[in-house]
Amino acid sequence: MGTITRSFANLITDTGPNAVADGTIVNADINDNAAIASTKLSGTFGSRTLLTSGESNNVTSLAISSTYLTSSYNVFEIFICHAPRSSAAALELFVSTNNGTNYHNVDRLYHYFQVYPNANTGHGISSGAINTDRANLQVSLINGDFANSYIQIIRPKFSGGTGTHRNRNTIVATTATTQSVGTSVNIERVDLITCISNSDTTNRNSDINNIKFEGNGASMDYKYAVYGIAW
């Protein structure tokens, strides 16, 4: 007697007599090892877009302008690597709401953690200040040190409610650095929170659309990527 075979490739369909009724498959029916490609997902998850990336070498400043920090996004993520070409390079951050025509004073606060060549550690409030012309991601580097930062610019856009400060932009940054490895600090983490100064009643509630990095006049190399997130 011959063998009877049947193809099951098209046995289950989404319509017709072989359709699986809505609500039949539940979470328990899905194997723990199953994976769904992200291209097959739909829904409101927000969008994260690479806006620009690049490298600038032997420069004294680097600006990320309103060409990228547009009104289309509520949050910007900036990954930036700083490499000084000379000693005593402080990593400075300037912010603007008019695309760099003016850079505005900020209120700022830092906290740092350090581990020294002898394995001792230290931490504390590095600098708190109000109405000052810049924020610092780190304060003292020499040629050969590394400094890698992750920076978020958060721009809330509440459509309702009242309050003077609810839509103020905030910058939150974390920087991992060294300071003359083997001599001063083997590794350090600096956390920064800053916003346009409360004293600046003209610009404090405007969107930040330009930021500038400097090394206190030192020549620097930068490598960076900027992402925008809309919600």
Give dist(CA 90, CA 138) in Å, integer. 6
Amino acid at site 110: Y
**Residue 44 φ/ψ, nearest 5 degrees:** -95, 95
Give dist(CA 148, CA 137) in Å, integer. 10
Q: Domain for residue 18, yes or no?
A: no
Q: Domain for residue 189, yes or no?
A: yes
Give dist(CA 226, CA 73) in Å, integer. 12
Q: Indicate the pTM of the whole model.
A: 0.79
Please report where in the chains the tokens 């929170």 appear, as a residue.
193
Q: Domain for residue 2, yes or no?
A: no
Give dist(CA 136, CA 193) in Å, integer. 10
pLDDT at 178: 87
Structural domain including 180 reads 46-230
Please report where in the chains the tokens 């969008």 appear, as a residue.
47
Number of domains observed in the structure of the chain: 1
Q: What is the CATH number of the domain that holds 166?
A: 2.60.120
Q: How confident is the model at residue 134 (pLDDT cuts 50, 70, 90)?
A: very high
Q: Domain for residue 51, yes or no?
A: yes
The model's pLDDT over 142-175, given as tens digits with 9 standing for 90+, comes to 888 889 999 999 999 888 878 878 889 999 999 9
The model's pLDDT over 72-88, given as tens digits with 9 standing for 90+, comes to 999 999 999 999 987 76
